[in-house]
């Protein structure tokens, strides 16, 4: 028979059990189980790391976002607070200013009212005839000298002629019947004080505020007007004392919104009206006093306005402080805070991004490390397997067998249980190689290895290639009968392979087996000695004609 025939022939494993064992495990099975176990461990590992990384990066991002949100909220709250505080301060400042101006205006007008009331009484008492006029002139002079704000004091008859004045001479053209105040008093019976629009004096050519009062004859008919003109400069001098920015405004108005005076001084504005402005329409006209952020028609810039009506006179005083100006400190502060916040936000974001990058890099390194560890473990397992197994047959090698024998030897000593050892050698294998070649010899050894591998052994039993064409089987806790039965099965198994061997007297490949069974004796036996004993039994089997089992 050609070697190709037996090489391809199916070898049937032993169907009966030599040594009865429960739950025997193969090396390959153990290896498979261990590999799948590690795969099961690796998968949750990877998931955990993925999740861990995600949650770490997420936590970092969330913390930074929270920190930034807190920072912005705190600074926003601070800016909001300081805005309202600055606004309240500017409102207080404008109201104080308005109060000072209203006090000044009240004082000025009440002095004028008192003067006019006294002069009217004197005129009523003395009369205003030609004889009394020098006396009245003196009186007017005294009053005018006593009050420096007074530009002129004049008396007009019922036709509008100036008949007495504090000046030494009456004007050449001295009819004032066209003046507002004259017309008003002529047409209105009340004897109350009237504060008129600013006009230019015909005598001094200065701007004046005319304050006038009607005079009646004893029968109640119109007798004329007594006038006290207050120089606009009086207000100008007073208003200039206040240090206000150019875009702020101090104003004195008549009740109808006509401007009596305005600081900073601008002659063009004197006599104009703010009656159409939101400030006047929505606030001044409606309330006695108040504070409001508003605009004027002629001045669209938003200002913090405070205003008050004088209690006794139809005059309003208003102060408008530039919102831009009054809030400039707050704006600077808010800007500083915004810049600081921005710097912190940028810093936090940068640090967070760097940390996130580091975490990612670290996680990546960890992943790579885990991967490398896994590969190393796999490599170690393969190396371990390689170190323990025989390359040709896949069985354990001599090195592993020696270690296992050491262990089982010790165990047998301790447990006082017998140990079985079978040493197998292929008969006439040199001839086989010579006849069929080394490749066929290798295949033959592989088939024998497979036969041994398929033996139904217990989990502590071990089959190894001892070297060359020699195999060894270790059977812990096995008595003589069990070991011999196993040896017999093995021998039969090899015969059943039916490998043709023309160099053998039997015509097929056979094997000789040396068996040792016994309890190792303390102080006498060693693992090597047990093998030697099995080997000498094998030697005996060879000597007695091969294809047989001999026991040591
Ligand atoms: N093909 C092959 N041959 C091997 C291997 N290992 C050892 N051999 C051969 O096995 C033969 C063993 O020969 P011997 O020790 O003289 O024994 P034998 O020819 O079997 O004779 P007996 O054992 O006395 O029956 C040698 O020729 C070795 O070269 C191997 O792995 N493959």
> How much is the CA Rg of the chain, to the nearest whole Å?
63
Domain segments of the chain: what residues?
Answer: 135-238, 390-551
388-408 per-position pLDDT tens digit? 999 999 999 999 999 999 999
Indicate which atom in ligand 1 lies nearest the CA of residue 426. 20
468, 470, 512, best to mutate for ligand 1 pocket (most atoms within 8 Å of CB): 468
Q: List the beta bridge partners of residue 73.
A: none
Q: From ligand 1's centre to the CA of 505, what distance in Å?
A: 17
Helix (H, G, I), strand (E, B) or coil at 120: helix
Residue nearest to atom 28 of ligand 1 (CA): 430
Please report the pLDDT score of residue 52 as a whole number. 62
Q: From ligand 1's centre to the CA of 463, what distance in Å?
A: 19
Residue nearest to atom 6 of ligand 1 (CA): 468
Any idea what the Cα angle at residue 36 is, between residues 33 and 39, rounded to 5°? 150
Cα 140 to Cα 220: distance, rounded to the nearest angstrom = 24
Please report the pLDDT score of residue 298 as a whole number. 66
Helix (H, G, I), strand (E, B) or coil at 128: coil
399-438 per-position pLDDT tens digit? 999 999 999 999 999 999 999 999 999 999 999 999 999 9
Helix (H, G, I), strand (E, B) or coil at 513: strand
CB 396 within 8 A of CB 464: yes
What residues contact 479, with CB distance under 8 A and at least 6 apart?
418, 420, 517
Please name the helix (run of DSSP H) or strand (run of DSSP E) that holds residue 539, with its range, or none.
Answer: helix 527-543
Please report the pLDDT score of residue 433 as a whole number. 97
Residue nearest to atom 27 of ligand 1 (CA): 430
What residues contact 367, with CB distance under 8 A and at least 6 apart?
46, 49
Residue nearest to atom 15 of ligand 1 (CA): 430
Identify whether 489 is preceded by a cis peptide bond (ω within 30 of 0): no
Indicate which atom in ligand 1 lies nearest the CA of residue 444. 1
390-551: CATH topology is Alpha-Beta Plaits (3.30.70)
Please choose, from the candidates 318, 281, 316, 274, the residue with its C-alpha nearest in 3D space to the C-alpha of residue 297. Answer: 274
Helices assigned H by DSSP within 167-249: 180-187, 232-239
110-137 per-position pLDDT tens digit? 999 999 999 999 999 989 899 999 999 9
Residue nearest to atom 21 of ligand 1 (CA): 428
Q: From ligand 1's centre to the CA of 429, what distance in Å?
A: 5
Sheet holding 419-426, edge to edge: 462-467, 470-476, 419-426, 511-518, 549-551
425, 426, 437, 469, best to mutate for ligand 1 pocket (most atoms within 8 Å of CB): 469
Q: From ligand 1's centre to the CA of 449, what distance in Å?
A: 15
Q: List the beta bridge partners of residue 259.
A: 253
Please report the pLDDT score of residue 38 as a whole number. 42
Q: From ligand 1's centre to the CA of 428, what distance in Å?
A: 7
- The CATH code of domain 135-238 reads 3.30.450.20
- Provide the b/e sequence for 445-462 (b: ≥16 CB within 10 Å): bbbbbbbbbebbbbebbb
Q: List the beta bridge partners of residue 504.
A: none
Q: From ligand 1's centre to the CA of 473, what distance in Å?
A: 19
What residues contact 257, with CB distance under 8 A and at least 6 apart?
273, 274, 275, 276, 277, 280, 284, 285
Please report the pLDDT score of residue 39 as a whole number. 43
Cα 316 to Cα 100: distance, rounded to the nearest angstrom = 13
Please report the pLDDT score of residue 244 as a whole number. 82
In a 13 Å sphere around the CA of 3, the CA atoms on its Cβ side amount to: 18
Please name the helix (run of DSSP H) or strand (run of DSSP E) that holds residue 354, with its range, or none.
Answer: helix 328-388
Q: From ligand 1's centre to the CA of 502, what distance in Å?
A: 15
Backbone angles phi, psi at 315, to 5 degrees: -130, 145
Ligand 1 environment, Cβ below 6 A:
392, 425-431, 433, 438, 441-442, 445, 468-469, 542, 546
ipTM: 0.97
Residue nearest to atom 19 of ligand 1 (CA): 430
Q: From ligand 1's centre to the CA of 470, what distance in Å?
A: 9
Cα 550 to Cα 487: distance, rounded to the nearest angstrom = 10
Stretches in the chain below the pLDDT threshold 50? 1-44, 46-48
Q: From ligand 1's centre to the CA of 469, what distance in Å?
A: 6
Residue nearest to atom 29 of ligand 1 (CA): 430
Model pTM score: 0.55
- Provide the b/e sequence for 419-430 (b: ≥16 CB within 10 Å): bbbbbbbbbbbe
Q: Judge whether 135-238 and 390-551 match in fold.
A: no
Helices assigned H by DSSP within 127-240: 133-146, 180-187, 232-239
């Amino acid at each position: 028979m050609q070697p190709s025939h037996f090489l391809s022939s199916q070898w049937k494993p032993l169907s009966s059990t030599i040594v009865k064992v429960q739950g025997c495990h193969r090396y390959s099975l153990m290896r498979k189980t261990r590999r799948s176990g590690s795969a099961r461990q690796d998968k949750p590992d990877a998931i955990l790391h993925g999740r861990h990384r995600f949650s770490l990066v997420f936590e970092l991002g969330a913390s930074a976002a929270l920190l930034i949100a807190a920072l912005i909220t705190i600074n926003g709250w601070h800016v909001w607070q300081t805005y309202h505080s600055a606004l309240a301060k500017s409102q207080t400042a404008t109201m104080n200013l308005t109060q000072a101006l209203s006090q000044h205006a009240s004082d000025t007008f009440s002095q004028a009212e008192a003067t006019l009331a006294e002069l009217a009484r004197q005129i009523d008492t003395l009369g205003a005839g030609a004889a009394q006029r020098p006396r009245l002139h003196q009186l007017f002079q005294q009053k005018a000298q006593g009050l420096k704000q007074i530009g002129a004091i004049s008396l007009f008859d019922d036709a509008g002629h100036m008949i007495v004045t504090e000046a030494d001479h009456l004007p050449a053209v001295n009819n004032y019947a066209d003046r507002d105040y004259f017309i008003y008093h002529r047409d209105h019976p009340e004897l109350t004080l009237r504060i008129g629009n600013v006009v230019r004096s015909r005598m001094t050519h200065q701007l004046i505020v005319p304050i006038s009062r009607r005079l009646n004859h004893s029968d109640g008919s119109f007798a004329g007007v007594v006038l006290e003109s207050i120089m606009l400069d009086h207000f100008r001098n007073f208003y200039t004392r206040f240090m206000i920015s150019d875009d702020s405004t101090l104003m004195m108005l008549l009740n109808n919104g006509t401007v009596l005076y305005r600081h900073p001084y601008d002659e063009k504005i004197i006599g104009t009206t703010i009656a159409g402005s939101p400030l006047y329409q929505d606030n001044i006209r409606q309330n006695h006093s108040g504070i409001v952020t508003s605009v004027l028609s002629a001045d669209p810039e938003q200002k913090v306005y405070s205003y008050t009506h004088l209690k006794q006179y139809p005059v309003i005083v208003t102060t408008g402080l530039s919102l831009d100006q009054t809030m400039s400190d707050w704006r600077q502060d808010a800007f500083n805070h915004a810049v600081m916040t921005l710097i912190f936000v940028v810093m936090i974001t940068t640090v967070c991004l760097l940390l996130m990058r580091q975490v990612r890099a670290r996680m990546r390194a960890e992943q790579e490390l885990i991967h490398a560890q896994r590969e190393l473990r796999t490599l170690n397992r393969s190396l371990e397997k390689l170190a323990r197994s025989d390359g040709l047959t896949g069985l354990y090698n001599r090195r592993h067998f020696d270690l296992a024998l050491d262990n089982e030897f010790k165990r047998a000593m301790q447990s006082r249980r017998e140990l079985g050892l079978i040493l197998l050698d292929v008969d006439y294998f040199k001839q086989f190689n010579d006849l069929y070649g080394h490749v066929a010899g290798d295949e033959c050894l592989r088939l024998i290895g497979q036969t041994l591998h398929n033996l139904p052994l217990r989990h502590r039993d071990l089959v190894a290639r001892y070297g060359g064409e020699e195999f060894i089987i270790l059977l812990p806790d096995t008595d003589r009968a069990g070991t011999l039965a196993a040896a017999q099965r093995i021998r039969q198994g090899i015969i059943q392979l039916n490998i043709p061997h023309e160099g053998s007297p039997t015509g097929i490949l056979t094997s000789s087996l040396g068996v040792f069974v016994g309890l190792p004796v303390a102080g006498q036996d060693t693992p090597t000695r047990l093998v030697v004993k099995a080997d000498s039994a094998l030697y005996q089997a060879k000597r007695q004609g091969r294809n047989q089992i001999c026991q040591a």
